[in-house]
Amino acid sequence: MKGAVYLDKEKVIIKDDLEKPTPAADDVLIKVKYCGICGSGVESYKTGGMYLPNIILGHEFSGEIVEVGENVRKLKVGQRVVVDPNVPCGECYWCTRYKENMCKLSNNALGTTQNGGMAEFINVRADHVHLIPDSMTFQEGACVEPLANCVYAVQESGIKIGENAAVFGAGTIGLMTIQALKAAGVSRIFAIEPVEFKQKKALELGATGVFHPKQYNKVARMTDKIGPDHIFDCVGIPETLMASINLIKKGGHITVIGIHIEPFEMRGLMQVPLKNITLRGVFSFTPDVFQASLDLIAGKQVNGQALITSIIKLDDVPDMFKKLANPPHEEIKVLVEI
């Protein structure tokens, strides 16, 4: 079968002699329909970090069940599904406390440490499979996983109905965080983003105001010079983290979602105690949040479709990685049609 394989820094290739998997007793075989290209994949492509070499890419995918293992009772051939790509151990300190995203195996997931869904077929454990309703398209299905990261961030932040928030970055994660905040009853959401077409998207999808990063201080004016109750850093670079610490109200909460691999010098950290700031990081999500995110898209509370800027073929994946790693470009979420 054919699939996109991550090799190393700046090396993503298409192979057409990959072995088609056969489902073990507790597995199902899925014929993949759509698979998203994730920002973390692009980050790995740029730096050579995070992903294991020689694995099939793809952890944001939808498809149809074409075979079921002998022990699988709840799933049938022909069902339309999406897959929670995380593979926690299920036994460690964290897993037994329903914090599977902090599992001792940490980053263990399809498409990052095990073969993923950017291929014609993938074998997955039946308990990772979630059915999608007829009203949900396969393209929307591929948006469930990125949304789950944002829903988890919003949940963990502890934000309450009626509070306000600022969101740094209006790429896939930023735009989904804006929508998750809106669904959570957040009254005013300020997006901070330099790129004009992304600014427009942020307004379209629920931001009440949008600002260029150079003018992020305008958010302070919009909040009676107090600063927002919550900030979500969906970029995670030194500039956005330092701006967040500057902008947040005293006693406010900063939630960092964006991942920055390179080391950097940090200034202004003393503001964290001086302003009584809660600074929190979130990584991935728990299994319950995956289903909640699916429901938010199914219930039309979150628009995944609006984020899709290109649909490409498997053969175009290497060129698209090159493009995404070298901005500026006009892409938000790119899906691969298998």
Least Cβ distance, residue 37 to Zn ion (angstroms): 9
Residue 310 CA from chain centroid, whole number: 17
Least Cβ distance, residue 30 to Zn ion (angstroms): 18
23 prior amide bond cis, ω within 30:
no
Please tell me whether residue 330 adopts helix, strand or coil conformation.
Answer: coil
Q: Which amino acid is at 123?
A: N
Are 69 and 21 within 8 A, CB to CB?
A: no
* CB nearer Zn ion, residue 103 or residue 334: 103
Residue with tokens 């502890």, as numbered in its chain: 158
Least Cβ distance, residue 41 to Zn ion (angstroms): 7
Least Cβ distance, residue 199 to Zn ion (angstroms): 23
Please tell me whether residue 266 adopts helix, strand or coil conformation.
Answer: coil
* CB nearer Zn ion, residue 90 or residue 299: 90
Are 219 and 227 within 8 A, CB to CB?
A: yes
* CB nearer Zn ion, residue 118 or residue 277: 118
Least Cβ distance, residue 109 to Zn ion (angstroms): 9
Give the count of alpha carbons within 13 A of 63, CB side only: 32
* CB nearer Zn ion, residue 38 or residue 231: 38
Query: What does the alpha-carbon distance between residue 253 and residue 159 come to, in Å, rounded to a whole number?
Result: 9
Least Cβ distance, residue 270 to Zn ion (angstroms): 34
Are 34 and 335 within 8 A, CB to CB?
A: yes
> Which residues are at the interface with Zn ion (CB under 5 A)?
38, 88-89, 92, 95, 103
Query: What does the alpha-carbon distance between residue 326 and residue 4 come to, in Å, rounded to a whole number?
Result: 19
* CB nearer Zn ion, residue 48 or residue 213: 48
* CB nearer Zn ion, residue 103 or residue 324: 103
